[in-house]
Amino acid sequence: MTDTTTEPLVLRVQDARGVVTLTMNRPSAFNALSEGMLDALQRELDAIAADATARVVVIKGAGRAFCAGHDLKEMRAEPSQDYYERLFAQCGRMMMSIQRLPVPVIAQVHGIATAAGCQLVAMCDLAVATTDARFAVSGVNLGLFCSTPSVALSRNVGRKAAFEMLVTGAFISADQALARGLVNRVAAADALEMEVETLAASIVAKPRVAVSMGKALFYRQLETGIEAAYRDAERTMACNMMEESALEGVQAFIEKRSPKW
């Protein structure tokens, strides 16, 4: 099954600073992650990965919601083990592409973020939500434990909080998501874009190479033991220190002036 709309499934805008905004564009389906949507997101993420001018990515949804997860009608139309394995592998590749991007990715969340939509929020490096946004991994309500979302969720929030969401399927509020570490900031609906812009501007003001090296190290070290993590971090920091931007930044600090990046 394919999407019937003639509109692009993902809208891309890039400003002069290198802030790339990807808008999931299936508003009538609450931006459900159909195969077409996953393909469109994958293409955009692959293009951004190869774009040296990109500095920050913002992912948001058109219409009334951020993302309602997988397209259940599409999933039900072809019930076979092989199909489901391909679908979830496709989704996993897209999610991991976010983590592997050399630039930070911010989820701009409004409305609901459920199941794989909540997974998408968790996989983004940063997240800002409206005060009335709600989050759930609700597959269990349909008899389907949100196994793949659990991977991202359990790496964002505490184990017991994550497991409660997974086995109850219950929604949590934006304030609860903030308290549990699923999102970084909460803003009123009319201030959401400005809050995301403030975060993006702060990142863009830093050297791209330092942020890129730091992001890669951040995720590598999380998956290793502490001694190996320190060794990796030591090498990364030494390499970073040899970059012109770091040398200039330190010299500017010594000379009590702004760095010239």
CATH of the domain at 222: 1.10.12.10
Q: What is the CATH number of the domain that holds 81?
A: 3.90.226.10
Q: How far is CA 32 from the centre of its chain?
A: 16
Q: For the chain, what is the domain count?
A: 2
Q: Which of 107, 169, 119 is nearest to 149 (CA)?
A: 119
Same domain, 98 and 170: yes
Tell me the residue length of the chain: 261
Same domain, 134 and 198: yes
Same domain, 237 and 191: no
Residue 238 lies in a domain: yes
pLDDT at 1 over 60: no
3-state secondary structure of 129: strand
Which structure tokens are listed for 222?
Answer: 């999380």
CB neighbours of residue 109 within 10 Å: 32
Q: Enter the pTM of the model.
A: 0.94
Same domain, 138 and 244: no
Residue with tokens 């196994």: 147
Residue 1 lies in a domain: no
Which structure tokens are listed for 105?
Answer: 């990715």
Residue-wise pLDDT tens digits, 157-199 = 999 999 999 999 999 999 999 999 999 999 999 999 999 999 9
C-alpha torsion angle, residues 94, 98, 102, 108 (rounded to 10): 140
Residue 261 lies in a domain: no
Instruction: HSE, CB side, 13 Å, CA atoms: give it for residue 47.
Output: 14
Is residue 203 a contact partner of residue 104, using CB atoms and an 8 Å limit? Answer: yes
C-alpha torsion angle, residues 135, 141, 142, 143 (rounded to 10): 120
Residue 124 lies in a domain: yes
Same domain, 193 and 213: no
Same domain, 240 and 111: no
Same domain, 180 and 224: no
Q: Which amino acid is at 92?
A: G
Residue-wise pLDDT tens digits, 30-58 = 999 999 999 999 999 999 999 999 999 99
Q: How far apart are CA 211 and CA 103, in angstroms?
A: 7
Q: How far apart are CA 149 and CA 225, in angstroms?
A: 24
Same domain, 191 and 232: no
Residue 260 lies in a domain: no
pLDDT at 2 over 60: no
| Structural domain boundaries enclosing 28 | 10-204
Q: With left for phi above 0 and alpha for psi between -120 and 50, is residue 29 left, alpha or beta? A: alpha
Same domain, 228 and 106: no
Q: What is the mean pLDDT of residues 214-241?
A: 93
User: What is the DSSP pairing of strand 19-24 with strand 10-14?
Assistant: antiparallel
Same domain, 228 and 189: no
Same domain, 109 and 225: no
Q: Which of 211, 212, 232, 234 is nearest to 223 (CA)?
A: 232
Same domain, 106 and 15: yes
